[in-house]
Structure 1
Amino acid sequence: MTATRSSDILRQVAVLSATTFMIIAAMVGTGLLGGTPVQELQGGALDADASFLAPARQAFSIWTAIYAGLIAYAVWQALPGQRDSERQRSLGWWIAATEVLNGLWLLAAQFTTLPMTVVVIAALAAVLGLTFRRIVRRPGRGVVSAILVDGVTGLHLGWVTLATVANVAAWLTQTAPDDWAAFASVVGVVVLAVVAVVGIAIGWQGRGRVAPAAALAWGLAWLAVGRLAGEPADTAIGVAAIVVAVVIAAAALVRRTARASA
């Protein structure tokens, strides 16, 4: 802990403001305030059955945990004891940026175009990746910090990583020629192989933190459900999603075990 600066209070207020913006944007973007529900936006392009790489609708319940965690973080970081924390100085503005981009994606989906949602979610994924790297480089102390900083940001990163893939797939499905559907299985499996590489890298660079892997595995499991038990059906993609989920989870656990025994 060091002496409190005026910028510390500004940071705490900024995080609270970003969280408030995110909540309001979520209420607008999901149709709770009278707008169109997400699954009906962009001509239904963002629904669970709109592309071969979209998880089943149940997967999106993870947002409840992410939003609850971000709200809890905003309250916790605003406490006097966190005001002059060097870790909060390093991370607070970055986490606030992820919340703003989170809210902007929902507004983009509600009021702009499908390509714009791809731009926003790609920016969100990039900022989350940078934020997570800073978290790993500046470890915290205590269970609360581990849950509200490492855990929540990890869940956010893992889910948005897969959501970015689904968002791009939705865009391509709407714009690509119809005959591209013949290559959906091959392309889908290749993309999931790339997701496996990214997930393993996140787990390794994250020193075995389980939250990103858990979020990715969650989304991949529901993607498998969507392809094996829903529409559009595709056995190859469904099986590949299960394999990738297991590989990512196992890689994170191996890294965590190796770190603990080092």
Structure 2
Amino acid sequence: MTRSIALLCAAVLQVLAGIVGGAGLWGESVGVVANSYPTLLLPAGTAFTIWSLIYVGFGAMAIRQALQRNRDVHRRTGWWLVAAGVLNAAWILLFTNRLILLAQVVIVALLICLIAAALRLQPANGWADRLLLHIPVMIYLGWVGVATVAGAATTAAAFDAAPGNAAAIVLLALTGIAAALAVLRLPAVIGFAAAVCWALAWIAANTPTTWVRVTALIAIAVVTLTVLVRVQNGSAIAWG
């Protein structure tokens, strides 16, 4: 019961923090702060609409876990997801108050929690599990994975060390390789890959540098091809 209540509270906390961070009600808005440290890896503003999908998915997942709190998969993932929700809210408040380095530490911790939750998922028991557990977790993970890389560039820019063309290209290439390897290992890879490709596409759309854009598009292609390989092994595995 405690875990289920904590997860519901984390779902609400994220939404409230997102409203505060989006409107700049405590500090500045996330967009204003991000744009004040421009980098070649900053996604276009439209990319961040994915948070609405993440919050809806997380909320639905929290409600379902409250109704099925005795399932082993919820015990295995629940507290990691609670930590993820709290860390996301903390990141928003730190970032909007320009505590950039601390915010980057927090988003790395958030990524670790989501990886831990993803690795603890069990084979989906029908489409309800896919839609209300696997896909929400994996979309969240995919987005935060790329956001962590973009955040690292923003953190560097805050200390007057924004990555140049070569560094940005290397970071994007490594991100694509890491995402492709994750597709071969993680469950529900279509949700994960979709979020990764969404983030990379908006980086490509926003960057002023041709080769950074080309690298982002190549990374998308690599991730997509890896998903196709995984799907050939069975669509049920790919969806979770």
| TM-score (normalizing by structure 1) | 0.84
Q: Which has the larger radius of gyration?
A: 1
- Other-structure match for 1:127: 113
Question: What per-residue deviation string (whole Å, max 9, x for no partner) do you get for residues 19-78 of structure 1?
Answer: 122222222222264652211127722xxxx10011111111111110110111111211
CA distance in 1, matches of 2:236, 2:194: 22
Name the structure 2 match of 1:56.
44
Check if 1:97 corresponds to 2:97.
no
Same amino acid, percent of matched pairs = 31
8 Å contact from structure 2 (residues 134, 187) kept in 1: no
Runs of 5+ in structure 1 lacking a partner?
A: 1-8, 228-232
Q: CA deviation at 1:104?
A: 0.9
1:1-262 alignment, distance < 5 Å? 9-31=1-23, 33=25, 35-41=27-33, 44-45=36-37, 50-79=38-67, 82-111=68-97, 113-135=99-121, 138-176=122-160, 184-207=164-187, 209-227=189-207, 233-259=208-234
Q: 1:34 to 1:176 in 2, by over 3 A?
A: closer
Mapped contact 2:146–2:199 kept (Cα < 8 A):
yes
**1:256 CA displacement:** 2.3
Structure 2 counterpart of 1:5:
none
SS in 1 for 2:146: helix
Report the 3-state secondary structure (helix = DSSP H, G, I; strand = E; otherwise coil) of the residue aligned with 1:51.
Answer: coil
One-letter amino acid of the counterpart of residue 42, structure 2:
A
How far did residue 253 of structure 1 move?
Answer: 2.2
Q: Number of aligned pairs?
A: 237
Q: Distance between the aligned counterparts of 2:187 and 2:234, measured in 1?
A: 7
One-letter amino acid of the structure 2 residue matched with residue 218 of structure 1? W
- Map Cα deviations across residues 213-257 of structure 1 (whole Å, 9 max, x no partner): 110101111111112xxxxx1000001101101111210221121
Match of 1:53, SS?
Answer: coil
Contact 2:177–2:219 (CA under 8 A) maintained in structure 1: no
Distance in 2 (alpha carbons) for counterparts of 1:222 and 1:42: 15
Give the structure-2-normalised TM-score.
0.92
> How big is the shift at 1:261?
10
Range that drifts further, 63-72 or 105-114? 105-114
Distance 1:207 1:10 in 2: 27
Question: 1:44 and 1:169 mapped to 2: Cα distance?
Answer: 13
Whether the 8 Å contact between 1:207 and 1:259 is mirrored in structure 2 is: no
Counterpart-to-counterpart distance in 2, 1:31 and 1:208: 33
RMSD: 2.0
Shift of 1:144: 1.7
